[in-house]
Chains A and B, each alone.
Chain A
Amino acid sequence: MTVKQISAFVENTPGALEKFTEVLNRNQIDMRALSVAETENFGIVRIIVNDSYKAACVLKDEGYVFSVTPVLAVELPDTPGSLYKILCTLREAQINVEYVYAFTARKKNAAYMIFRVADNDKAIDALSDRGIHLLSQEELEAM
């Protein structure tokens, strides 16, 4: 159970991120989650949106270089130690985490995080065994 993340190349220059969000805004694309990773010269903007197909078409038309990556969207109780528990599970299963970022939703008492791991299938099995809820694409789009 993975969700689609769109990762786009954006230059590390003033206005580059603004232009990117303007494209999404103009096309009425709603973001669920956003993360920016940067180097000296460029960045990768990672987004989860309500309509990945439309977002991909729009970005292609606008000349962006991007990729669609399957990532895990994890719902975790909004209590101390819940992230720790997930990371313990992944460590026990020997799964490397490449990056992680959090996002919020309207639901109370829950937190959401995106995990990019080395092996999605293995991670899904390990987390599901511990009763950790992974969001589906449909759930995410309906949020």
Chain B
Amino acid sequence: MEKYFAPEIECASRDQLRAWQDERLVKTVHHVYDNVPYYRNLLKEKGIEPGDIKGVEDLHKLPFLTKDDLREAYPTGLLAVPMRDAVRIQSTSGTTGKRVVAFYTQHDIDLWDECCARALTAAGCTKDDVVQVSYGFGLFTGGAGLNGGSHKIGSLTLPMSSGNTDRQIQFMCDLGATILCCTPSYAAYLAESIHERGVRDQIKLKAGIFGAEAWTQEMRHDIEQQLGLKAYDIYGLTEISGPGVAFECSEQTGMHINEDHFIAEIINPKTGEVLPDGEKGELVFTSITKEAFPLLRYRTKDICVIHNEPCSCGRTFRKMSKPMGRSDDMLIVKGVNVFPSQIEAVLINKGYPANYQIIVSREHNSDVLEVNVEMTPEMFSDSLSAISVKEKELIDAMKAMLGIYAKVRLVAPKTIVRSEGKAVRVIDKRNLY
């Protein structure tokens, strides 16, 4: 029996949904025009008045927003309410040191929590469940989002954050966690550790919500089999709110987009032309209920397809496929966004030539990030310890920039593969898409 957190919304008619979207879009456009000079200028440049946007049919008239806009407007240039009305920030790594900061009013937190509550409920979560949130807490949205969603349902919530596997497994057993929320690679790692410790029979998990990174169907089946649960995908991004922008139902054939809060479009990433449902392109979101940080037509750079066929679960929200790639060079490693330009910036900053290669692989279902750097006469020393010190400095600087550990491998000069004179910067061995 399918469960809904907000059946009157999740199963509303398409006409009703469209009416909500029309009304909320118009309101949001006025809101940003009145309160955000950055938007006002952007719209004026395009010769658009708020009155020109009468509903979703006029959405295409609005200009796109990209991560560059968010960086340019850093830190408060897109804040649409007085700072005193915002209650929280979350943040995501950006290139060359500048992060993206998203603001939330209490209303924004509530709607985000509601989106996560819908995702949890679709995975079968009720007040009687024990939800173990093993996404990172802090500036990363993973932990805060699912934590809030679980509270909203009234489930007992274990705000574990990521890491400390011994404690994770102990609490999972001792408190009888029934729902696990974490990245799929961490779920796979936990599954392995549980089997190693021989405590599989003490695990009561029935469902898992695994997002923030790409994973394959094979990985889903492995995790489901090893932990005896049903694995659900979830999608989100800090710029739009966090996890819960879209979520999977029991059918597991795509993620329902919370269309009462977010309008999704698929565009041709080269021309910006809006594509019909069923066609592959870049996903674009407009948030229509947020107060502090509403974004109009934000380009996610994720390539996917939106399907509008009715779903057996009864929800009327359209479904998006798993992202099938990126329209930029961003990598997602251990759930963290990594741009090759960030690694390049560290190398240049430390006085190394920008001759590098990034290799991402998956060992034991966990991502491994390796950066090959060509040895130079300046870097070389007759002393191994002197080289190790430099290597360590580089590793620390990468960690500070990326937020995750990258293994640095010094390689012989001119060994980084060049194709047609241009170096191949990224080798992703994970075959995720």
Contacts and interface: CB of A to CB of B under 8 A. Distances in A.
Interface in A32-55: 37, 39, 41-42, 44, 46
B138 interface: no
A46 B383 CA distance: 10
Given A11-B412, A41-B410, A65 B388 contact: no
A120 to B, nearest CB: 13
A16 B375 CA distance: 15
B381 interface: yes
Contacts of A5: 382
Contacts of A66: 380
A65 B413 contact: yes
Given A9-B375, A65-B375, A65-B376, A44 B414 contact: no
Contacts of B382: 5, 7, 44, 46, 67, 69, 116
Interface string B39-54: 0000000000000000
Q: Report whether over half of chain A's contact residues are helix, strand or loop; otherwise say mixed.
A: strand
Interface in A1-25: 5, 7, 9-11, 16
A98 interface: yes
Interface string B367-401: 00000000111011111100110000000000000
B412 A9 contact: yes
A98 to B, nearest CB: 6
B411 interface: yes
Interface residues of A, number: 20
Contact of A10 (B387, B409, B412, B414): B412
Nearest to B372: A41
A114 B381 CA distance: 18
A81 interface: no
A31 B258 CA distance: 72
B409 A41 contact: yes
A7 B383 CA distance: 9
A80 interface: no
A31 to B, nearest CB: 17
Interface in A43-95: 44, 46, 63-67, 69
Interface string B119-142: 000000000000000000000000
A11 B380 CA distance: 13
A5 B381 CA distance: 13
B380 A65 contact: yes
Interface of B: 375-377, 379-384, 387-388, 409-415
Given A37-B384, A44-B387, A67-B382, 18 more contacts: A7-B382, A9-B375, A11-B411, A39-B388, A41-B409, A41-B410, A42-B375, A42-B410, A63-B414, A64-B413, A65-B376, A65-B380, A65-B412, A66-B380, A67-B377, A67-B380, A67-B381, A116-B382
Interface of A: 5, 7, 9-11, 16, 37, 39, 41-42, 44, 46, 63-67, 69, 98, 116
20 contacts: A5-B382, A9-B375, A11-B412, A11-B415, A37-B384, A39-B388, A41-B411, A42-B375, A42-B410, A42-B411, A63-B414, A64-B412, A65-B375, A65-B377, A65-B412, A67-B380, A67-B381, A67-B382, A69-B382, A98-B383
